[in-house]
Amino acid sequence: MAKLGRLRKETVKRALLLMAVVTLCFLIFAGRVFYISTGKEVNGQDLQALAESRWTTTQTLPGERGTIYTREGQQLAKEVQAYTAFAILDEDYDGHVEDPKVTAEKLAPYIDMEESRLAELLQRDQFQVELGPGSKYLTLSQKQEIEALELPGIYFRTEKKRYYPKQVFASHVLGYTARDMSEAVMGLEASLDKRLSAKDGSLTYQRNVKGIPLLNKEEILREPKNGEDVYLTIDTNIQIALEQAMTAVDEEYKPQKMTAIVANAETGEILAMGNRPSFNPNDYSSITNYTNYAVSDRFEPGSTMKMFTLAAAIDAGVYNEHETYESGTYTIGDSTIGDHNNSRGWGTISFDEGLVRSSNVAFAKLALEKLKPERFYEYLQAFGFREKTGIDLPNEADSLVAHSSKLDAAVTAFGQGTAVTPIQMVQAATAIANDGKMMKPYIIDKMYDLNENKQTYEAVPEAAGEPIKKETAVKVREKLEQVVTGEHGTGHPYQIEGINVAGKTGTAQISNPNGKGYLSGYNQNIFSFLGMAPAEDPKVIVYVAVDRPQLPGHETGSAPVSKIFNPVMKQSLSYMNLSTGDAKTEKVYEEDGIQLDSFENKHVKKAVKSVKELGLKPVVIGDGSTITEQYPLAGSSLIIGEKVFLLTSGKLQMPDMAGWSLRDAKRFSVLVGLQLHHLGSGYVTEQSIDPGAVLQENDYLTVELKDPDQIRKEQEETKKEEDSHEEKKERNNEPHE
């Protein structure tokens, strides 16, 4: 019995111990459950977040990098969709590469890869393989060409890339980004990167175990933000003309480098800017020149600097055009400077003749004896040669003005010893072109934020100073015109028929990179021209510099420069509707023609009747009943049959311009506020705005013109084709045996 009692007591103890252990475990488990349920965290992991991640997903909504446009709205840099090809090799996958050798043979030419290399890739023991650099960032047409090969196992994924539709067009201005836009490297792409860059958005939503979005569940949308769009002052037509001329000169003369700038003389807007060597931003692996010479390169300008020494002397009242001096050489202390014809000079000549012959001695004397060095440097400061222009392009270079001795002043006066940038030269020239008011150059016209649907920036022409008086500028232009047209003028190659050009030539020496002094020998110079037109009231400034062209023995440095300057200046004035041919026509009409009455505030029917009675052709614009404006203005002289444009207060619609002259198109555009561009000459045959379309102010209108002979020939050819077609129809309708 005692033994049984002890056994029972032992059993009870064990039961109690087991119950205690179980109770303890339960309490620990319950405590843990309570802890987890309240804290919702295990080992630092948020259980709620972990659970939600199983049924919640976030999708990235990519933003789009801003587009860069010309002034007319043509795209220069934009984000586009691209494609990258890859191959599936796994035989267990339905749709793998079936025949690596045949696939390699057909595909290799399309992705710029050797056939043997591609065949080796396609035979690897992998699920899939990338197909090298040539298979990345393909265009839609390239993708379609590969798809047309119908190669099993070749697939594409979609990506974004930066694309430059106009290739080398203003490439140093634009710069470039990496293809995937991960990095902006140079030009406006780099300097405006923050404003051009996009910010990705996201969409967060709940889904079931199969990944299907759940209904009636709250979505969290964070909208993507596109980059700002940028509009430049670059004119498409003028830039194209510049690129074409520079390419032709580059191929013919093979210079070390070139730069050119076209600017609006009245506003400082840069209408075109180019360099050689240039590059295609779509293929930045081949770039050899990263420098925009127009703003980031400084060099001794040569005799183009004489333009500003002359302006300073005239403005200071110390220039006597008839005063004579002995040309050839000029001694300054221990140094002697000479004229460019091996210091022979031209004997005793006037300062005016010294200008047209580009005498170094004349300008050294003006700086040292007439102006005195201190005053001369004050004018250089006023012309902006001691500081950057502040143009809205990156990496603008400083000038280096020599200013330690009288000799420095003397040689700076004719363009040696001091180094400046091309954009400084253009800015200074605006003072002469613009009646004394110097305009700060700029190339960004406006910026637009599509997210907010508002304009975030708009450029306003800004004066950079008034270094000379109006009457000085007028006189300087008259004298610079003589450089181009005068008997002994060095600027003869820059004469353009029908256009009065004022400007100054330059032949600059190049500092020897291996030591003191300058490079010597034939073709070892920078040849340049800084000109403006029309000379009496300049609207356009063109600067061209060509460094060490390979000249044939019978040509001078002005040959390659003029082959850029002349066509670009001519095209610029034409595109800006400033052709001097029209001005001559205006003069003829003013001298002998029909005097035009005022029709403003008159009823349309009465105005139309009056115009017809004068032998003129009325063109009513708008559907209003009263004339609000007219063009030409009252008092203008016209000839019989000319058009008179009558604007009413009603809705403006585009007329049919077929057969109109360029003069008519210009008058119409001025009256209704259109931006006119024209191609060809003669009479309008095509127009970019359809007849009947509602017009908005500042719309762009492009017209194509053809001369009467061309139109007649085309009509005759069309008639021949129609007659031939009719003959065939008649023959086909004849009965057959």
Q: DSSP H helical segments within 175-305, as ranges?
A: 187-191, 193-196, 236-253, 293-296
The answer to whether the beta carbons of residues 275 and 259 sit under 8 Å apart is yes
> How far is it between the farthest Cα atoms of the chain?
155
Q: Which secondary structure element, helix H or strand E, spans residue 287, and what is its range?
A: none
What is the Cα–Cα distance from 691 to 288, expressed in whole angstroms? 49
What is the Cα–Cα distance from 436 to 225, expressed in whole angstroms? 45
Per-residue DSSP letters for 101-166?
A: HHHHHHHGGGTT--HHHHHHHTTSSSSEEE--GGGSSB-HHHHHHHHTT--TTEEEEEEEEEE-TT
- Taking Cα atoms as reference points, which of 530, 532, 525 lies closest to residue 550? 525
The answer to whether the beta carbons of residues 711 and 704 sit under 8 Å apart is no
The answer to whether the beta carbons of residues 335 and 456 sit under 8 Å apart is no
Q: Provide the residue type at 111 as one letter.
A: I
**Residue 617 backbone dihedrals phi, psi, to 5 degrees:** -110, 115
What is the Cα–Cα distance from 699 to 117, expressed in whole angstroms? 54
**Residue 645 backbone dihedrals phi, psi, to 5 degrees:** -95, 125
Active site residue 303: yes
Of 278, 303, 359, 558, which one is the catalytic site residue? 303
Q: Quick count: other Cβ atoms within 10 Å of Cβ 7?
A: 10
Query: How deeply is 443 buried, as exposed, middle or buried, from its count of CB atoms within 10 A (0-12, 13-18, 19+)?
Result: buried
The answer to whether the beta carbons of residues 225 and 451 sit under 8 Å apart is yes
Q: Quick count: other Cβ atoms within 10 Å of Cβ 325?
A: 19
What is the Cα–Cα distance from 402 to 164, expressed in whole angstroms? 41
What is the Cα–Cα distance from 416 to 499, expressed in whole angstroms? 31
The tokens for 617 are 């052709």
Helix (H, G, I), strand (E, B) or coil at 335: strand
The tokens for 318 are 């110390």
Cα 41 to chain centroid distance, Å, stands at: 58
The answer to whether the beta carbons of residues 540 and 235 sit under 8 Å apart is no
Q: How far apart are the first and last CA of the chain?
A: 142
Residues designated as active site: 303
